[in-house]
Amino acid sequence: MSDLPRKAVTRTAKLAALPLGFAGRTALGLGKRIGGRPAEMIASELQQRTAEQLFSTLGQLKGGAMKVGQALSVFESALPEEIAGPYRAALTKLQEAAPPMPSQSVHTALEKRLGSDWRDLFEEFEDKPAAAASIGQVHRAVWHDGREVAVKVQYPGAGEALLSDLTQLGRFARLLGPLIPGMDIKPLIAELRDRVSEELDYALEAQAQRDHAAEFADDPDVVIPDVVHQGSEVLVTEWMDGVPLSEVIADGTPEQRDRAGQLLARFLFSGTVRTGLLHADPHPGNFRLLPGKAEGGGPEQWRLGVLDFGTVDRLPDGLPPLIGAALRGALEGDAEGVYAMLCEAGFVRESVELDPDAVLDYLVPIIEPARAEEFTFTRGWLRTQAARIADPRSPAHQLGRQLNLPPAYLLIHRVTLSTIGVLCQLGATVRLREELRDWLPGFLPDRDGDGDDGGGGGGGDMAEDGEPGAGESDAGALDPSEYGPADGPANGPANGAVEEPADEPFEKAAGR
């Protein structure tokens, strides 16, 4: 693999070939249908070839192309099961790795950013990357003080490539729509494009990671690696072993799935309260399942490792209380109250008048996981929600098109949906209501009360839709305590001095 393809004409040509390839396969499929082959067989073959071309191209180009692929990867659970296979395999590859750049290019970048004597900073440095992602790749190394570290090196020309890819992908986003039912991909691409400068700024990423590492330093459930050294295009953090969440999705036991899902939900809702920041890249490649601190601890002591703070939403007051209050009102069946809150916050434009009961009917299935004390997230449940919202003939689709998503809620909305997508991939049974009570502002009428339910809808039996957890298998348990180095972006628990930096519309928003 050569350097990151930088020339706009090269990247544009590769991306432009995607819709042409799709059109060509459609024509070929029509010919085969006329020739007598079954329609179902032809459709499956077209889906597989489309998936292979699309995600092979996104992975090779990296940059913004791969970023879009990773963002889409958490929604493969929404695909109809008969065509999910090809996409699932191709999308999952984007969560952990991409083709690496050559060692010489890495050395040149390190010399430019750390100086000609950069090797003196390390006792050891592995030229083979542990992971290659959208705008940079990670190398395992040993810092000069003996700590194992992860060295994240930004691809040369990453900024130019990001903008070029996202602009080009935005032009034919409509053609990508059928890949993920119920989602309009164009707003997702636009939002990623708006955050290019933040994604490329390792100083911002380092500070966000430091803030999280400090806050969660003594947390029994969540592990955040600390920052060791930061330059403009190089970020060194402590290394973190563990089982990648993508492997838990593929081969984890029910206990591992449930524990990972519970901690993922906890981190989503507690992180903003504790740090004023929302981790905005929740795909499985950014999480690890780690053993507890005590030897021989059971699943209840496993911890969640969190990586990659390149994209965060800054929420100094935590999640807006309106989210919790509206969720509580919807669970209580308060159609008028919920509608009034949505209007006040801008979810309903002044020029639009909707039936409050219809709005409540639209919301109730989506908030089902918050109704019961425990809820099992499954691919089947997510497919049902996606189909209900995506079908142009359904009342939910028609109402969704009339709702609006205020800019302040755009990233919150995408992160929440992405987290739900991962929970459905896990097939996890989660006590979501417990996390909402503890961490979601506005969910309880009195946050200083005695912890009572607060009218958020009575508890009930675990919701079931007859489908087993995602990807359950009879494979033996993945043992985090015996697992080798994580093969993704890596960092580790904070426990050392940190060096100072050297140069330091609603229906269209990721759910319709």
- DSSP notation for 276-321: SEEE----GGGEEEE--SSTT--GGG-EEEE---SSEEE-TT-S-H
Cα pseudo-dihedral 448, 451, 454, 458, rounded to 10: 170
DSSP three-state, residue 112: helix
Cα pseudo-dihedral 420, 422, 424, 426, rounded to 10: -140
Above 80 in pLDDT, residue 359? yes
Which single residue is written with the structure tokens 């050559």?
A: 102
- Using CA atoms, how far apart are residues 266 and 67, in angstroms rounded to an integer? 25
- For residue 354, what pLDDT is reported? 96
Amino acid at 24: G
Q: Confirm if 66 and 98 have CB atoms less than 8 A apart.
A: yes
pLDDT tens for residues 421-479?
999 999 999 999 999 999 999 999 864 444 444 333 333 333 334 343 333 333 344 54
Q: Confirm if 399 and 354 have CB atoms less than 8 A apart.
A: yes
- Helix, strand, coil % over all residues of the chain, rounded to 5: 50, 10, 40
pTM of the model: 0.75
Q: Confirm if 468 and 429 have CB atoms less than 8 A apart.
A: no
Q: What does each C-alpha distance from 469 to 300, 375, 465 come to in angstroms?
A: 19, 11, 10
**Mean of all residue pLDDT scores within the chain:** 76
- Using CA atoms, how far apart are residues 449 and 215, in angstroms rounded to an integer? 25
Encoded tokens for 288 = 């690890």
Give me the residue spans of the domains in the chain: 243-483
Q: Confirm if 291 and 247 have CB atoms less than 8 A apart.
A: no
At CA 414, angle to CA 413 and CA 420, rounded to 5? 95
Average pLDDT over residues 499-507: 40
At CA 183, angle to CA 181 and CA 189, rounded to 5? 135
pLDDT tens for residues 200-241?
899 999 999 999 999 999 999 999 999 999 988 999 999 999
**Least confident window among 80-89, 327-336, 484-493:** 484-493
- Using CA atoms, how far apart are residues 472 and 250, in angstroms rounded to an integer? 7
Encoded tokens for 425 = 């991939």
- Using CA atoms, how far apart are residues 211 and 226, in angstroms rounded to an integer? 9
Q: Confirm if 12 and 168 have CB atoms less than 8 A apart.
A: yes
* DSSP-assigned letter for residue 125: E
- Using CA atoms, how far apart are residues 172 and 165, in angstroms rounded to an integer? 11
pLDDT tens for residues 15-44?
455 444 443 333 333 333 334 444 444 345
